[in-house]
Chains A and B, each alone.
Chain A
């Protein structure tokens, strides 16, 4: 039995259904990241786990104990909020100790706990300050300290980094990851930032419109997206999704993408998934990540199936470490990730290598993966 189990969770506000039957679980010590665009229900899901929202249907259990209907303080959880939610009228030490004070923990024990947490987060010198006298990063640490001091079974983070500037965000991200590795705690973390999700998670759950689109390890989500939404949402630059026609030929399946003023680009897919042949004569969506679409020299040496095609480069975007080249296939912009010093120029043709080991195909009507 998993540590946190969410079964068929439903939540509606009046007639508006926000969560439509979510099933999700995470093992002890795992780092579950809920990711999705705004309004997908990820914060509502987190608040439901916290008990800050009452659920309409389904069940939630932590460590085998059903927590439906329990008060937030009885669920053995701690939460870090987006705005940090530090009590403005209390010092840092009082903020950290407030929960213990409410529970009637003796002062000596409280002070010891404050000492331990402030050492761990290096906020010992801030204990007598008020939140208004702290910087964003310091507030963030105090908020994490307030959660740590409870020593809960489950930590909940609600977009904790989105109020920080870009540099600090990366630092705090690393710090949260380090904290998780050192303490071995179980964390549920909400973000709309797919890079945060990829870097932090041991398990990612992608939500959209109150439905779980896919859950799995970051690698599974990235390499084997279940549908076009997940494929498009995760990864930056986003996965190229090209409408192509499917033809069976002798050795397997070929796909062809329409091009303006050029012959269609035809690629033979030797390792085509079984389902693809069923679309013979029809259209599918061909998904390939920018790093699987590159110049010949930097193509993955271990890849078994590489197809080459000559494409007209429309835009070249040097990014320092790489050069991104934009071409057009099937009426869509397609981004290729090339070596920094790749010899390409806008308006000229270049030979691009498609790593078909990494290619995925989707049904154009449903958007679902073709297996």
Chain B
């Protein structure tokens, strides 16, 4: 049984912190504030942490570093978090996943005894026919095989995902001895440093090593135990002001130009560094043998971490399987904590040089067996015995009763961040690991990821890389083998990828529950390339994304397809390296897409507005009911915020030439005080924009654009000015000016009251513009008619926004002036048959077919789109955008539904509304030319399958002659 320890024979234990408690599956668990969820549960005697994906096998704490999937739990309703990585907090609610009815008794475990019935790809094969079975089967399979449940209601989720940015000179990833040394090396060159580690504390594996440091370049550290030396190194770093340290932060991607993506809680860090040093280290190798997934089997470094960082002894009777001196180190730590070491089983044959810790173990008279390894584990929720036998497999020699089996069978470098889909690791025969040596420029690496070992070597490699990174001595394709040649006793033997010893529960991939025999069966079925094998068997596709099994899969696939281990090709490693949530990736980035508010924003809020998102803009959709608001305009006086219009002032000696080139109209005889409707087309002749253009002062023109295009058109103008070298000034006043449209029969009477210019129809006719002042504020009036009523657009400096809005509403009281929103305006313009580019047109709509050909004057020299307009003219009209109306009482179609002719699709509706003025459905639709005659009929297919009859109108449903506009 596991227990807490207070003292240790060979080292000092850390201060455990305050006593706290939390809940696990409804049970109260006592813990210390320095505990991870796993260490607290282990100390409390909770062996089971989770159930496996497919067979619901019991799984317990394994590596304590969160590399595997075993420790996935739901914490405070957030699923799929790694218990190994999370510090417990008082009152925390932790639940296990994928078990029903309970973690201890899981009905799904029956899958485990019927393994032969659930081979790889069983669902492809078994539920293939009959077809109706699959949806039912799928539902059951999804229920049985899964991870945590997402809190879709979001009731318990108050996280706010944010994006953060860092721009260090050098970013060091990994806070072990080589990462710390790299940081120091770069700091000494005077650089700005960012050091990232995914554990709650810096130090890496050195935090639980009692090996004595010797021959280290940093002489102060010599003679200290590693766990003390690394603390001293961390203290040394703390004295540098230009170092930022991020702990509990997982780097999940390394992208082009050294973009480092890291997650810390609900924050996404985007880090752009001149140089990146990767010191991700290595983890204990995963060994494949019978029942290698049972609770009680743990990695050596996991056990060491529990003892030295959390004061938890995970078992009483331990067997250690090793291939290097590190296993003896673990055994000594277990012994010093009070465990009984039943045996140390060493895979190496007798005769090799004995390491420091092996000698100590022998002095303690602990039995050591050479040339053997673990063959099988016995026990279900906790092991009680292990069988050991020859490394080459075959019959087992011995059995030991134990409750803890420690695996110290070499290291697996974490090459993921070195690879990232760009480089594939290769088997290094000398070091017996998968390695990547050729890194992109600006990326450096050091330490255990290259098979290095020992504090002093890690330190010097790290320090040199840090220095190199700081000095940007970019040497792509550099090979570390020269710098770090191994001595014979530093080579850690790699055991065979699988111990061939009978039984059918040799788990290669524990996340997805794939066994050796299943992998072999898949190869026999023809999936003999490692990538296809992975996809078919789903090995390495679970939550750990191959962190544990990546190497085993490659080596076993090589063996089973008749290749040597040198030829072992691992599957491609791509980001993300750790699980990332959608929330994190979506996150808030308000500076990248700001919310844009008009100068009248607060006024709208005060009026109880309902906002509409128009691109980045918040525009008033309506204040009350759009149908009622429409009647304000038709029968009285309304006002709408049109500040989001693009407003561009054009002047300069070649202003007319420029406009003639950019716009399809002609402007040589455009008089001061006039306003015109204008459209814009691309070089492809397609209509993409409309607005008005006014000649406000001699040589100064004022163009308005639609909301969505205000930035695009400004940049387009800038581009054409550059390449065509026009002598013209283009001033973007979009944000400098606020604007309202005051419209309705009494608008003239109202405005005349406020200004001292003559507003009469004779002095200020339709499609003209005038300058004046309202309450001492300079304003421009544009008499246009988008709504179909007499109306004036009023533009004025944005800083007078709120006061002008209030002033107009107050002064307008006697005329019953009411504000209206965009939805209301859409109804009003539809009653007039006005199109909105982008809503009623698309990338195939040419201006002639769209019905705005009147705005084109193509009897002029070269202008944008002329060649294609000519082409469209010659081709003739095929389809037309027409206004239509429905019979009173007909149902109103949705926007976008189909237009039918004799039962066949012949067009589509682009805008459809109920006209409150005409009390019937109206809209715009694209129809074939032969259907577009005024008065002809066509059918519209509603979403419910019924048809309604529409009649094509000549121009507008409301006031077709435009008498009201011009009155």
Say if A and B assemble together: no
Chain B residues at the A interface, C-beta cutoff of 8 Å: none
Chain A residues at the B interface, C-beta cutoff of 8 Å: none
